[in-house]
C-alpha cells in the first residue's frame, strides 16, 4: 500500500470529483435502504403492532399508497445518484489514466540509452496498457465500490442498532470470521495475480521481438523452435492463470456460506424475539422484516469486498510497476554543472586522457586527441575497437569514466544536453527509419524549436488540447539534404516521390537507401558536428566518394567524424586515427600512415588488391561483393578488419 502514496498527486487534481462522488455514493446508499423502512411501516400498520410510535399503529389505504410511493421514489433517487457517481468518479479515473499515460511517456522520453539498452519493449508496452488499465480500474470502479461498501455498512448498522442491538450483536459474531477468511484469500489472490502479470510481460516481449525480427526468424527457418518456445511460455501463463482461478472460486463460495450463516442466526434469534421468548426484547414483525431486508442488501457489499480487495491489490501491484518506470532516472542529464548560458557550439572536439569502462571491461584507454572545428577526422579499426563509443561520447549517449571530452574547450558535461544534441548529428551504423513518408523521415530532426517541454502532473481539465499535428516538412531543406546524401535522383524515380510511405523501420528501402535517408536526415539539421558511424557501408564506393565531396562543400566549417573502412574515402580526412582495443595505435595524414607501414598501410594494400581484381575481372568480382562476403564471415556485419586481413 505504500507505493500508492505516489498516486496521491493525481487524485488531488480531481479531489472535487471524488468528494462530490463520495457524497453521492452515501446518498445512494441511504436511499436504497428506505424501501425496507417503508415496508416495516406498512407491515406494522397492517398487523396493528404497537410500534415505538403509537401513531403508526393502525393504517389507512391512503397511508399504504403513500409509503409504497415513498419506496419507489427512494429507488429512483438512488438510481439517479448512481448515474451521478459514474459521471464524477469514473470520469475522474479516465482523466487520471490520461494524465499518468502522458507523464509516463514524457518520463520515458527523458530516459537515456542506459535504460533502453536494458528495458524490453514488449514489457514496457504491457505496462503502458495492461497495468495502466488496472490502475484506472482501481481508481474508478475500485474506489466507487469501496465507498459504496463503506456507505452500505454505515447505513445498515445504523438501522440494525436502531431496530435491535441484541440482534445486531448476534450478527456481528459472524463478521470477524468473514473478514478473516476474505483477508487470507485476498492475499493469496494478489500473489498469484502478480505472477500472471509477470508472465504476461514475458510473453508480450517474446511476441514483440519475434514480430520485429520476423525476417531473421524466417531467414533462419527457426519458426518451429520459436513456436515451441512461445508455447512453453504460454503454457506457463495458463498454469499461473489457473492457479489464480482456483483461489478465486472458493472466495465466492465461502462468502455465500458465511452470509447464509448470518441469516440462520437472524431467523432463529429474531423469531424467538417476535414470539416474546427473549425477555426485555420485544420485536415487531415489521421490524424483523426490515432487519432481514437490510441484511439481505448487505450480502452484495460483503461479496464485493473480495472483489474490491482484489482490484486494489491488482491496482497497487500495477501502480508499483508503473512507479518503477517513474523511479528510473537518466544517468546522463543536465545537472548542477550545466551552464545554461551556452546556446550554441562551434565544433572543436577534444578528448583529454579519456578512458571508459563498461561493466568492468575497459572500452577506451587513455585516448587523447584534438580535432579543430571544421576538420574531418577519419577513424578506422577492427570491430569492437571503440569507434562507435568515441562518437557516443561526443553526444553524451555515454559519459567518460575518467578524463574529459571537450567541445569548444568546454567539458561536454557543462553544455546543456539539448544544445549539444541539436548541434551534433549522428548517422548510426544501423539507422532507424519510421514507418512514415520519406520526406518526414528526412525532416525528422527539424522544427523541434516550436515544442516546449510538456508540463506534467497537471489536470487534463486544465491543460489545453494539443494543436492538431499539421506539420509540413520543409521541402526545400528535405530536397537539398537528399541531394547531398546522393538520394534525390532515386527518390524522384519512386511513383510517389518524397511522399512514399516506408514500411516499418524502412524495410521497403534497400540498405544503401536506408543509410542515405538517415544521412539526409542528419544533413538537413545542418549540425556543427557530424558523426558518420560507418554510415555508408552499404553504399558503393563511387557513390560514397560523391556524397563525401558534396558533404565537404556544404560542411564548410563543420566538424566531421568519419568512421569507416575504405581508404579511398578516409584518405581525404584531415587526420586519420586507427583504433585497436580502445586505443589509438596509429595516427596522422593518409601519407604519414602509408609511410608508417602499419595497419592502415595494410588496409590500403588489401583494398588496392581488391580494386585490381575488380578491374581485371570486371563484373565478376566486385569490391562490394567482397565486402558482402566479408560481412558474412563476421557476424557483426562489418567488413574485414585490418587484423583479420593479416591473419
Ligand X SMILES: Nc1ncnc2c1ncn2[C@@H]1O[C@H](COP(=O)(O)OP(=O)(O)O)[C@@H](O)[C@H]1O
Minimum CB–partner distance for residue 387 and Mg ion (Å): 5
What DSSP character marks residue 437? B
Residue 204 grid coordinates:
508480450
State the Cα–Cα distance between residues 374 and 5, nearest whole angstrom: 53
> Would you report the helix, strand and coil content of the chain in percent, each value rounded to 5?
65, 10, 25
* Cell reading at 555: 560542411
Binding partner of 618, given Mg ion, ligand X, none, CB within 5-8 angstroms per partner class: none
Instruction: Please report how close the Cβ of residue 185 comes to ligand X at its closest, in angstroms.
Output: 45
**Region near ligand X per CB under 6 A, out of 91-99, 211-219, 355-363, 414-422:** 355-363
Contact between 637 and 430 (Cβ < 8 Å):
no
Separation CA 352–CA 16 (nearest Å):
58
Q: Which does residue 287 touch among Mg ion, ligand X, none (CB within 5 to 8 A, set by kind)?
A: none
Question: Closest CB to ligand X among 39 and 631?
Answer: 631
Q: Which is nearer to ligand X, 78 or 385 (CB)?
A: 385
How far apart are CB 203 and ligand X at their closest, in Å?
26
In the complex with ligand X, which residue's Cβ is closer, 359 or 470? 359
**Which span (44-52, 186-194, 376-384, 607-615) binds ligand X, by CB under 6 A?**
376-384
Q: Which is nearer to ligand X, 204 or 388 (CB)?
A: 388
The burial of 195, by beta-carbon neighbours within 10 Å (0-12 exposed, 13-18 middle, 19 or more buried), is given as middle
Give the nearest distance from C-beta 533 to Mg ion in angstroms: 6
Q: 10 Å Cβ neighbour count for 385?
A: 24
Residue nearest to Mg ion (CB): 388
For position 358 contacting ligand X by CB under 6 A, the verdict is yes
Which residues here bind Mg ion, judged by CB under 5 A?
A: 387-388
Residue 280's alpha-carbon distances to 249, 276, 283, in angstroms, are 43, 8, 10
DSSP track, 19-44: HHHHHHHHHHHHHTTHHHHHHHHHHH
Q: Name which of 390, 491, 485, 490 is nearest 437 in CA terms.
A: 491
Give every CB contact of residue 361 below 8 A, 6+ residues apart in sequence.
Answer: none
Stretch that binds ligand X, among 266-274, 385-393, 476-484, 566-574 (CB under 6 A): 385-393
Which of ligand X, Mg ion, none does residue 389 bind to, with CB < 5 to 8 Å depending on kind?
A: ligand X
CB of 569 to Mg ion, least distance (A): 16
Nearer to ligand X, 7 or 603 (CB): 603
Separation CA 261–CA 116 (nearest Å): 56
Residue 262 in contact with residue 295, Cβ under 8 Å? yes
Closest distance to ligand X from the beta carbon of 361 (Å) = 6
Report in angstroms how near the CB of residue 405 gets to ligand X at its nearest: 14
Among Mg ion, ligand X, none, what binds residue 470 when CB lies within 5 to 8 Å by partner kind? none
Q: Which is nearer to ligand X, 320 or 428 (CB)?
A: 428
To the nearest whole angstrom, how small is the minimum distance from the Cβ of residue 634 to ligand X?
10
Instruction: Supply the DSSP symbol for 506.
Output: G
Q: What is the rounded end-to-end Cα distance, in angstroms, of the chain?
A: 62
Report the nearest approach of ligand X to the CB of residue 585 (Å).
Answer: 13
Q: Which does 117 bind (CB under 5 to 8 A by kind): ligand X, Mg ion, none?
A: ligand X
According to the binding rule CB under 6 A, does residue 117 interact with ligand X?
yes
17 contacts which partner out of Mg ion, ligand X, none, CB within 5 to 8 A by kind? none
Q: Which is nearer to ligand X, 39 or 357 (CB)?
A: 357
Own/partner long-range contacts of 263-269 (Cβ < 8 Å, ≥24 apart): 263/292, 263/295, 265/170, 265/171, 265/173, 265/174, 266/167, 266/170, 266/171, 266/291, 266/292, 266/295, 267/292, 269/166, 269/167, 269/170
Instruction: Identify what 45 binds: Mg ion, ligand X, none; CB under 5 to 8 Å per kind.
Output: none
Residue 384 contacts ligand X per CB under 6 A? yes
Residue 89 binds which entry of ligand X, Mg ion, none, CB below 5-8 Å type-dependent: none
Across 591-607, b (16+ Cβ under 10 Å) vs e yields: eebbeeeebbbebbebb
Q: Which of residues 135-174 bind ligand X (CB under 6 A)?
A: none
349 versus 481: smaller Cβ distance to Mg ion: 349
> CA 226 to CA 208: how far, in whole Å?
12
Least Å from the CB of residue 377 to Mg ion: 15
Partner from ligand X, Mg ion, none contacting 383, C-beta within 5 to 8 A by type: ligand X
In Å, what is the CA distance from 487 to each residue of 166, 546, 547?
Answer: 90, 11, 9
Smallest distance from the beta carbon of 117 to ligand X, in angstroms?
Answer: 5
Binders in 446-485 for ligand X, by CB under 6 A: none
Q: Which C-beta is closer to ligand X: that of 374 or that of 384?
A: 384
User: What is the rounded distance in angstroms from the CA atom of residue 202 to the CA atom of residue 219?
Assistant: 24
Instruction: By CB under 6 A, tell whether 331 contacts ligand X.
Output: no
Smaller CB separation from ligand X, 183 or 358: 358
Residue with smaller CB distance to ligand X, 124 or 379: 379
Residue 384 or 550: which CB sits closer to ligand X?
384
Across-strand partners of 587? 577
| Binding-site size, ligand X (CB under 6 A) | 12
Compare residues 97 and 638 and give the one whose CB is closer to Mg ion. Answer: 638
Contacts of 401 (CB under 8 A, 6+ apart): 355, 356, 357
95 or 383: CB nearest ligand X: 383
Q: How far is the CB of 381 from Mg ion (least distance, A)?
A: 9
Helix (H) or strand (E) segment spanning residue 475: helix 475-484
| Residue 369: CB minimum distance to Mg ion, A | 17
Question: What does DSSP assign to residue 562?
Answer: E
Residues 386-445 that bind ligand X (CB under 6 A): 386-389
* Residue of 129, 108, 95, 94 whose CA lies nearest to 458: 95
The answer to whether residue 200 forms part of the interface with ligand X (CB under 6 A) is no
Q: How far is the CB of 365 from Mg ion (least distance, A)?
A: 17
Contact 204/117 with Cβ under 8 angstroms?
no
Phi and psi at 629, nearest 5°, equal -60, -40
Pair 262, 174: CB distance under 8 Å: yes
Binding residues for ligand X, per CB under 6 A? 117, 358-359, 363, 381, 383-389
Amino acid at each position: 500500500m505504500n507505493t500508492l502514496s505516489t498516486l496521491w498527486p493525481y487524485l488531488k487534481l480531481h479531489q472535487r470529483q471524488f468528494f462530490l462522488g463520495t457524497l453521492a455514493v452515501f446518498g445512494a446508499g441511504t436511499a436504497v435502504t428506505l424501501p425496507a423502512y417503508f415496508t416495516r411501516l406498512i407491515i406494522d400498520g397492517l398487523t396493528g403492532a404497537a410500534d415505538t410510535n403509537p401513531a403508526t399503529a393502525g393504517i389507512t389505504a391512503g397511508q399504504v399508497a403513500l409509503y409504497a410511493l415513498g419506496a419507489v421514489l427512494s429507488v429512483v433517487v438512488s438510481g439517479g445518484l448512481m448515474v451521478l457517481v459514474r459521471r464524477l468518479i469514473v470520469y475522474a479515473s479516465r482523466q487520471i489514466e490520461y494524465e499518468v499515460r502522458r507523464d509516463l511517456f514524457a518520463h520515458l522520453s527523458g530516459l537515456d540509452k542506459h535504460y533502453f539498452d536494458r528495458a524490453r519493449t514488449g514489457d514496457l508496452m504491457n505496462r503502458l496498457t495492461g497495468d495502466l488499465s488496472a490502475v484506472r480500474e482501481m481508481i474508478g470502479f475500485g474506489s466507487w465500490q469501496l465507498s459504496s461498501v463503506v456507505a452500505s455498512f454505515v447505513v445498515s448498522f445504523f438501522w440494525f442498532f436502531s431496530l435491535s442491538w441484541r440482534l445486531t450483536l448476534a450478527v456481528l459474531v459472524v463478521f470477524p470470521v468473514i473478514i478473516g477468511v476474505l483477508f487470507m484469500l485476498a492475499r493469496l489472490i494478489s500473489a498469484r495475480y502478480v505472477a500472471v502479470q509477470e508472465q504476461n510481460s514475458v510473453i508480450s516481449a517474446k511476441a514483440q521481438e519475434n514480430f520485429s525480427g520476423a525476417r531473421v526468424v524466417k531467414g533462419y527457418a527457426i519458426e518451429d523452435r520459436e513456436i515451441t518456445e512461445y508455447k512453453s511460455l504460454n503454457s506457463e501463463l495458463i498454469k499461473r492463470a489457473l492457479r489464480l482461478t482456483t483461489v478465486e472460486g472458493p472466495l465466492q463460495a465461502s462468502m455465500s456460506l458465511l452470509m447464509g450463516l448470518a441469516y440462520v442466526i437472524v431467523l432463529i434469534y429474531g423469531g424467538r424475539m417476535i414470539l416474546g421468548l427473549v425477555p426485555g426484547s420485544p420485536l415487531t414483525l415489521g421490524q424483523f422484516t426490515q432487519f432481514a431486508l437490510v441484511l439481505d442488501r448487505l450480502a452484495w457489499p460483503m461479496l464485493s469486498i473480495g472483489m474490491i480487495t482484489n482490484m486494489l491489490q491488482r491496482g497497487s501491484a500495477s501502480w508499483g510497476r508503473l512507479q518503477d518506470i517513474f523511479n528510473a532516472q537518466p544517468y546522463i542529464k543536465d545537472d548542477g554543472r550545466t551552464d545554461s548560458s551556452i546556446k550554441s557550439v562551434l565544433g572543436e572536439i577534444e578528448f583529454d586522457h579519456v578512458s571508459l569502462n563498461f561493466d568492468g571491461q575497459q572500452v577506451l584507454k587513455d585516448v587523447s586527441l584534438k580535432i579543430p572545428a571544421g576538420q574531418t577526422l577519419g577513424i578506422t579499426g577492427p570491430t569492437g575497437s571503440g569507434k562507435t563509443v568515441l562518437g557516443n561520447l561526443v553526444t553524451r549517449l555515454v559519459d567518460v569514466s575518467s578524463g574529459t571530452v571537450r567541445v569548444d574547450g568546454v567539458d561536454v558535461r557543462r553544455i546543456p544536453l539539448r544544445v549539444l544534441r541539436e548541434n551534433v548529428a549522428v548517422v548510426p551504423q544501423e539507422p532507424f527509419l519510421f514507418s512514415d513518408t520519406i520526406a518526414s523521415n528526412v525532416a525528422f530532426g527539424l522544427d523541434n524549436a516550436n515544442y516546449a517541454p510538456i508540463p506534467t502532473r497537471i489536470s487534463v481539465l486544465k491543460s489545453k488540447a494539443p494543436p492538431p499535428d499539421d506539420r509540413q516538412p520543409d521541402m526545400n531543406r528535405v530536397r537539398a539534404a537528399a541531394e547531398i546524401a546522393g538520394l534525390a535522383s532515386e527518390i524522384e524515380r519512386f511513383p510517389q516521390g518524397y511522399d512514399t510511405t516506408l514500411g516499418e523501420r524502412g524495410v521497403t528501402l534497400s540498405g544503401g537507401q536506408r543509410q542515405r535517408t538517415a544521412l539526409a536526415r542528419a544533413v538537413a539539421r545542418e549540425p556543427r558536428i557530424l558523426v558518420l558511424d560507418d554510415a555508408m557501408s552499404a553504399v558503393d564506393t563511387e557513390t560514397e566518394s560523391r556524397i563525401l565531396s558534396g558533404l565537404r562543400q556544404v560542411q564548410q566549417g563543420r566538424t566531421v567524424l568519419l568512421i569507416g573502412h575504405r581508404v579511398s574515402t578516409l584518405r581525404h580526412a584531415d587526420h586519420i586515427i586507427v583504433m585497436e582495443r580502445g586505443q589509438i595505435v596509429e595516427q596522422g595524414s593518409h601519407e604519414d600512415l602509408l609511410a608508417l607501414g602499419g595497419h592502415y598501410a595494410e588496409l590500403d594494400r588489401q583494398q588496392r588488391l581488391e580494386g585490381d581484381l575488380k578491374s581485371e575481372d570486371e563484373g565478376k568480382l566486385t569490391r562490394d561483393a567482397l565486402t558482402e562476403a566479408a560481412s558474412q564471415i563476421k557476424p557483426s556485419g562489418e567488413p574485414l578488419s585490418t587484423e583479420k586481413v593479416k591473419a
